[in-house]
Amino acid sequence: MSDVLIKKRILKDHLAKLIILAISIIVVVPLVLILGYLIINGLASINLDFITNIPKPVGETGGGILNAILGSGIIILTALILFVPLGIGGGIYVSEFSDTLLSRILRLSIDVLQGTPSIVIGIFTWVICVVPMGRFSALSGSLALGVMVLPIVLKSTEETLKLIPMELREAATALGVPYYRVVLKVVVPAGLKGIASGVLLGTTRISGETAPLLFTAFGNPYMSFNILKPMSSLPLVIYVYATSPYDEWHKLAWGASLILILLVFGINMAARIFFSRRDGR
C-alpha cells in the first residue's frame, strides 16, 4: 500500500475520533449547564437551617424543607416497597415464559403504561384512590409513583434475565435442582446487579416526578409522617415555590432543586460503589 493511502487512512481515523469527541461533549454540555446553574443559584440558600427546618409562613425569612426531604423519602420508599416486588416478579415471568399469551399481553400493557403521561397516572390515581378515601394522602402518591416505576423495573428485570447464559441454568438443572429453584437461586442472583440498577433507575426517575403527586400526595407545609394524610415532597415544593410570587420562595425552590439533584446523584454514586465492591471480591 502506498504511503499516501496510509496517511489518508490515518487522517480519516483522526477525523472519526474528533467527531465522536465532539458529539460526546455536546451530550455532556446540557448536564453541566443545568448542574452549574443549580449550584450557582441554589448553593446560596442551602445551609443547616434549610435542611433541618420546616417552611416558615410567607413574609418571614428563613425556613427549610426538611418536611419535603423526608416526605419524598417516605413516598418513594413506600412506592418501591409496594411495586418493586411486582416488577421483579413480572419480569421473571415474562423472561421465563416469554411465549405465553399472558406474557404477550403483559409486555404490551407494560409498554403502553411506560408511555402513559405522568399527569394521566396522577388523575387515574386520584379517581381510584383519593376520591374513595375522601382525602389526599402520601399513600396515593406512592401508588401513582409505583405505577410509574413498575414498567421500568419489569423491563430491566426481563432484559437482564434474558442475558443470563443458558449454561448456568443447565449447570443447575443437571445437578437435580427443580426448575423454580434454578430460577430463584441461580438465574435471579446472577442477574441481581441488572435488576438492582433497574430499581435505581426507576427510583431516580420517580424522585423528580411532580405531576402524579399534584392530585395525590398534594403537599403539606407541616411535618407529617402519616402516609394516610397529605405529605410534602421535593418536586411539589419546587413546583409551588417556583410558581409563587415571592422572591424568598424562589430561593427556596432553587435550594430544593439542588438538594433533589444531589440526592439523585448520591443514590447513583452509592450504588456504583456498592456494586464495584461486591464485584471486586
Partner 1 sequence: MKESVLFERVILGSTEEAKDIILQLVNLSAYFCESRIVKNINLAIEKNKVTSIMGPSGCGKTTLIRCINRMHEMSPGGTTKGEILLYGKDINNMNAIEVRKKIGMVFQRPNPFPTMTIYENVIAGFILNGIRLPKNIMDEIVEDSLSKAALWDEVKHNLGKRGIYLSGGQQQRLCIARALAMKPDVLLLDEPTSALDPKATAKIEELIVQLKESVTILIVTHNIAQAARVSDNTAFLYLGELVEYEPTKKLFTIPRDKRTEEYLTGKYG
Can you give the binding site for partner 1, defined by CB under 8 A?
165, 167-168, 170-178, 181-182, 185-186, 189-190, 192, 281
Number of H helices and E strands in the chain, helices first, is: 14, 0
Residue 57 or residue 176: which is nearer to partner 1 going by CB?
Answer: 176
DSSP letter assigned to residue 224: -
Q: Give the nearer residue to partner 1 in terms of CB position, either 53 or 173.
A: 173
Nearer to partner 1 (CB atom), residue 247 or residue 279: 279
| CB of residue 181 to partner 1, shortest distance in Å | 6
Closest C-alpha to 258, from 201, 208, 214, 212: 208
Three-class DSSP category at 254 = helix
CB of 170 to partner 1, least distance (A): 6
Please state the separation of Cα 263 from the chain's center in Å.
11
Contact between 260 and 69 under an 8 Å Cβ cutoff? The reply is no
Return the axis-axis angle of helices 247-279 and 66-96, rounded to nearest 10°: 40
Grid coordinates belonging to 125: 390515581
Q: How far is the CB of 128 from partner 1 (least distance, A)?
A: 40
The minimum distance between CB 218 and partner 1, in angstroms, equals 44
Cβ proximity to partner 1: between 272 and 278 the closer is 278
Cβ 260 to partner 1 shortest distance, Å = 34
> Quick one: 27 or 166, whose CB is closer to partner 1?
166
Distance between CA atoms of 57 and 149, rounded to whole angstroms? 34
